[in-house]
Amino acid sequence: MNFTIRHEIKGRLRIHLPMKRLSFREADTLAYYLNGFADVTEATVYERTADAVIRYTCGRQRIIAILRGFSFDAVEVPEDVFETSPREQSAKYFEKTVTKTVLHYAMRMFLPAKIDRLWVAIKSIRFLMRGLRTVTQKKLKVELLDAIAIGAAVRTKDHRTASSVMFLLDVGDMLEEWTHKRSVDDLARRMSLNVDKVWLLGEDGEVLADSADVACGDRVVVRMGNLIPFDGEVCGGEAMVNQASMTGEPEAVLKNAGTFVFAGTLVEEGELVIRVSKTSGCGRFDAIVKMIEESEKLKSTVEGRAARLADRLVPYTLLASGATWLFTRNSSKAVAVLMMDYSCALKMTMPIAVLSAIREAADYHITVKGGRFMETIAEADTIVFDKTGTLTEAKPTVVKVVSFCEDDEDELLRQAACLEEHFPHTVARAVVDAASAKGLSHDELHTNVEYIVAHGIASEINHERAVIGSAHFVFEDEGVEIPEEKREAFVELPDEYSHLYFAKDGKLAACILIEDPLREDAREVIEKLRGQGFTNIVMMTGDSERTASKIAQQAGIDEYYAEVLPEDKADYVEKARAKGRRVIMVGDGINDSPALSAADVGIAISDGAEIARQIADITVGSSDLCSLVILRELSTLLMQRIRGNYRSIAGFNTALIALGVAGLLPPSVSAMLHNGSTVALGLKSMTNLLPE
């Protein structure tokens, strides 16, 4: 690709392509290409100017080579990248705002006065009808005040004031709609499917395949805790499927042979064989957008409070305007009061502030599924952490396999990986990766596998019952015995590692030692959270007491609980809430789901199990825990901004009302100042809360 370097500093390059502008599709293609390189930390493409700004960590020659290797025709971009791109939508709203502004002032400057007055009168009908509708609904809302103010201005032949008010109301509506769409679509993009691999069922059994290679008519197997990747008909198995991401229904639905399932829904329990009918995602993005927009979760308590307060203030504003006219007999002063109600600013700025904060959180790889969750984060005093994959590294590793039978370590690891590869858990991935690293490939050795939440996996290998999981599951629930001659070796297993037990035919076959070190930033994050006002920081894990004690000490956590079951975590959360605490739960696994659901706010790690991410109210990136500190700070700053908006609206509008009643401000100036301040406050509410 040919390009010109416009500006360059270390780690940042601005280039210009040899064309006047890029199409939306071309801009998305270039952005997709550049952001696909690990060396590129951020690439922003501007379609209007055919420019691109690239931030990178590699050498200059490397980034030049990347740019020269680009061609619009050579890059294959998934269609859903174009489908969910916000670029065209942002351009549309920008053009609408500019066009409306230019037309408003052009008509004021060049239209003859009579035609301008006629146009204002015709345009006012829309606002008058909107106000009348609130009366027919037996409600007094902000729209009624707008209608009366505009009608009064037209009646008193103050057409310029009426025109300005209508223009500013239209701009305000567009700004709110634009912010809303941006925030909802950002959230929908992060909730859309991201399934790379699926289990494809063929004549020779199950094969792990790329989802892009699946065609209509193929059969895929989906097990407990996994997303259904495609629309299709169930042709085998039975499962409870959570369809909340598509329909908003909270309860799981039974699916069996002959029923239809949707892409993006979640298998909570059981196993399904699905014959694929659609592979494109079938407009799931639009379905998610609709679900989010209809969900009350999107609205925070402060948004609802602002809307209710705004509507409650309408009668008082009407009374104040009527009283002003009675005492002064001056219609201009009465109209001035109508022009400066508190309601418009309250209703506009609060949703914009919340939605903008959600959008800003997304810039830090934090997906917030509703405004009320940020409000709760700001008020929370208790945070509960799962251990594995949350406080510890998301990628635990196998240190050693200790054999307790005749099979050698590699054979036991191969068999364990054969079972574990079907399930989305960090420990399961560690076993599978260890087998892959040794080149231990395998055919499907077992029959159907069964996942027992927070315990382990059960199946059959060569007609022998095989189980793998925790000590509680293997020795207590399954009654597995330790070979007599191996008891001493069992006692001598090192304490510094987590233990995963593998048994066949009722006897212990192997212990897989898992190293799961504490995240490098865990202790620092815990200290920062404590400094941000969390008075109760708790760790809960199904791991042994010795491992839990070690990790808690390293992380600087005083309160911890070991060898707990999923219901124990949820029970702790519920008891803490009953004591009046505001509780956040942070986890990544299937076993964390009950506690995530029970907490005031459930936060899932993005690399965790699908069921955890679906149930959680917020999802954070897996690369570090600093997202939690950022989330708390964002939420706190949001609440400060909202309180500041309240003070600004009350103070400024009260001053305008006083000046209007005193006759120092005519209605036209009052309207301009009121609506201008509302738009300015809305624009300020759209700015980032955190510094760059």
For the stretch 20-31, pLDDT in tens is 899 999 999 999
Which pLDDT does position 446 carry in this prediction? 52
> Residues, the chain, total?
692
Tokens standing for residue 63: 């980034």
197-280: which CATH topology? 2.70.150
Report which of 291, 292, 286, 363 is spatially closest to residue 83, judged by C-alpha positions. Answer: 286
Going from N- to C-terminal start, the domains of the chain cover 4-77, 92-187+297-354+636-685, 197-280, 366-393+518-622, 397-515
Q: At what angle do helices 87-110 and 113-136 cross, to 10 degrees?
A: 130
Which pLDDT does position 560 carry in this prediction? 93
CATH 3.40.50.10860 given to domain 4-77: no
How far apart (Å, rounded) are the C-alpha atoms in residues 323 and 654?
16
Kindly state which CATH superfamily the domain 366-393+518-622 is placed in: HAD superfamily/HAD-like (3.40.50.1000)
Residue 238: how many CB atoms within 10 A of its CB? 14
Contact residues for 601 (Cβ-Cβ < 8 A; gap 6+): 373, 376, 377, 380, 583, 584, 585, 617, 618
How far apart (Å, rounded) are the C-alpha atoms in residues 255 and 235?
10
| Whole-angstrom Cα Rg for the chain | 30
For the stretch 464-496, pLDDT in tens is 889 998 888 898 888 999 988 899 999 888 877
CATH of 397-515, one of 3.40.50.720, 3.40.50.300, 2.30.110.10, 3.40.1110.10: 3.40.1110.10
Q: Rounded to 10 degrees, what is the CA torsion of 484, 488, 491, 493?
A: -110
Tokens standing for residue 577: 């809430």
Which pLDDT does position 526 carry in this prediction? 95
Tokens standing for residue 39: 């060396």
For the stretch 487-538, pLDDT in tens is 999 988 887 788 889 999 899 999 999 887 888 889 999 999 999 999 999 9
Tokens standing for residue 219: 């059969």
pLDDT above 50: residue 181: yes
How far apart (Å, rounded) are the C-alpha atoms in residues 259 and 626?
43
Mean pLDDT estimate for the chain: 82
**With bands split at pLDDT 50, 70 and 90, how would you rate the model's confidence at 448?**
low
Region 202-225: mean pLDDT is 81
pLDDT above 80: residue 246: no
Report which of 366, 363, 355 is spatially closest to residue 300, judged by C-alpha positions. Answer: 355
How far apart (Å, rounded) are the C-alpha atoms in residues 45 and 682?
27
Cα angle for residues 601, 602, 605 (degrees, 5° grid): 140
Which pLDDT does position 296 carry in this prediction? 44
For the stretch 628-647, pLDDT in tens is 999 999 999 999 998 898 88
Which pLDDT does position 283 carry in this prediction? 47
Contact residues for 642 (Cβ-Cβ < 8 A; gap 6+): 302, 350, 353, 354
For the stretch 585-616, pLDDT in tens is 998 877 788 888 889 999 988 777 667 777 78
**With bands split at pLDDT 50, 70 and 90, how would you rate the model's confidence at 288?**
low
Region 240-265: mean pLDDT is 76
Which pLDDT does position 15 carry in this prediction? 93
Q: Do domains 4-77 and 197-280 have the same CATH topology?
A: no
Which pLDDT does position 105 carry in this prediction? 84
Which pLDDT does position 636 carry in this prediction? 95
pLDDT above 90: residue 692: no
